[in-house]
Amino acid sequence: MFLHELQKGSPVKITKDEQEWREWAVKETPNGKLLLKNSFFDILKKSSKIYLFHVTPNLKKIVESGTIYSSGGCLIGSTYSTPLFLTNGIFRVHNLGEYIFKKEVPRASYLKEKSSKPSILIIEANLPPRAHDNLIGLDYTKLGNIHLAIYNDLEYLLSFRERAVLQEILLKKIKQSLPYLNLASNIYHSKGKIVNDKDFFEVFLASIDHLPILGYIYFEVIAGYLMLFQDGKEAKKAYDNGEFYNAGYKDLMFDLFPKLLKGAGLGFFKPTLKQVIQYIKKNKMISKLDEKNFTQYLIKRIVFLTQDRLLNRSEEYINWSAFSWDFKALEAIASPLLGHLVHRELRNFGRFPDFYFYFDQFKALQAWNYWNHMGIVIPFNGVMPKGEVGINPAWPDLKTKVYIGEEIKGPVVDAMYIAPKKEIAVKIVPRLVDHRITIMRSKGRQKISGTFRD
């Protein structure tokens, strides 16, 4: 994975810009080595079993039904978890899992509405030998074409009039984003030109309202930089444990945009550059933050991801101002952008929210087929290996045990430890739970587009 794709003869082709970014991230940033070697990868490579930390508000229902369903989101169709590390019969929780359990979940509106207390599950899964060689992550920003293909397969669920209205909505949103799309194209093809950051962010932030995927890209770029450069005490402790530190970018996200705790998606994430820099400095996240380099990094990376993730051919210059506004013509040059747009627009479009479950389920079926073909038992978020992992519920020989867990005192005072309390008769099944009842999703999202992790 990662640098392996840079080697000659690799079947995976990446652009020169992506190659240069990966080389830089791994070799020239304080925490970049974790992209290749981290505690989670060590387990996948060497162990015959993996233990995962899963948080749920629905323990009673799980025990009664004997079933754990998968969820959608950035891991598509898997059981969202974080790694556990076994030492002397007890488990240390990955810093991401600790943050979710102790900080994120208690603040999430869904649990407050239900007055639910989150419960801990420990999932034990056997790892076949083939899994040791498959460090293949999942990058949800690359799923645009898949979203569009699924829509094309399921569009018969909409009437002709509904399809026409939806296409008009999508075209209008892209037209409203022309100032940014043109700017990004010009910056990308000018290669190396210093960009006026005030002009860039004014245009970019205004476009997030029309193209929500840009909010996700913005978040991933900021989060990635923080994970690579954070050097505070807690970040160093996480690094020593072989983990990227997650609390920094998560605190930034929720403190600057509290509505994200009410079910809103990252399509609402649009802090100003000044807000981001002030937050980083106030919280001493990076001891020697070079504001100028940080700003130019954000611009360069955002522009690259816009071109690489949203257009069919990133190297091809597109004069958006002279474009013929036809849906099929747009599909020929920017099908990933259309896919990301339709993926989000369908949630609130007419009667289609009633069918949205089938859209996610169809996507999960494709993911399960791919994972089985590639021998992937434990998929993980490949944007950055920050601890977001899942279980492939459709793996033919999946062998798991599930335990109710409880927090206990461990050898390190400022770390979270858990132990199994009792085993429960529960199976992980290849079927998606209703997206409205998972722990990180709020009923409020029916009014606010988006969710935490998709």
E strand or H helix at 417: strand 417-424
Q: Which of 58, 318, 54 is nearest to 177 (CA)?
A: 318
Q: CA 220 to CA 137: how far, in whole Å?
A: 15
Residue ranges per structural domain of the chain: 34-140+357-446, 144-355
The pLDDT of residue 444: 41
Q: CA 215 to CA 132: how far, in whole Å?
A: 34
Contact status, residue 261 vs residue 254, Cβ threshold 8 Å: yes
CA angle 224, 141, 102 (to 5 degrees): 50
* b/e code 362-376 from CB counts within 10 Å (16+ = b): bbbbebbebbeeebb
Phi and psi at residue 353, in whole multiples of 5°?
-55, -30
Distance of CA 198 to the CA centre of its chain: 28
The pLDDT of residue 7: 46
Low-confidence residues of the chain: pLDDT under 70: 1-13, 109-116, 131-133, 192, 352-354, 434-454
Tell me the two tokens of residue 81: 């978890």
The pLDDT of residue 437: 52
Q: What is the dihedral of CA 19, 23, 24, 28, to 10 degrees?
A: 180
Predicted confidence (pLDDT) per residue in 245-272, tens digit = 999 999 999 999 988 888 778 999 999 9
The pLDDT of residue 136: 84
CA distances from 108 to 257, 381, 452 (A): 13, 22, 10
Q: CA 191 to CA 173: how far, in whole Å?
A: 27
Predicted confidence (pLDDT) per residue in 332-367, tens digit = 899 999 999 999 888 877 776 667 778 888 899 999
Tell me the two tokens of residue 364: 């999960």
Query: For 101, which DSSP code?
Result: I
Phi and psi at residue 350, in whole multiples of 5°?
50, -125
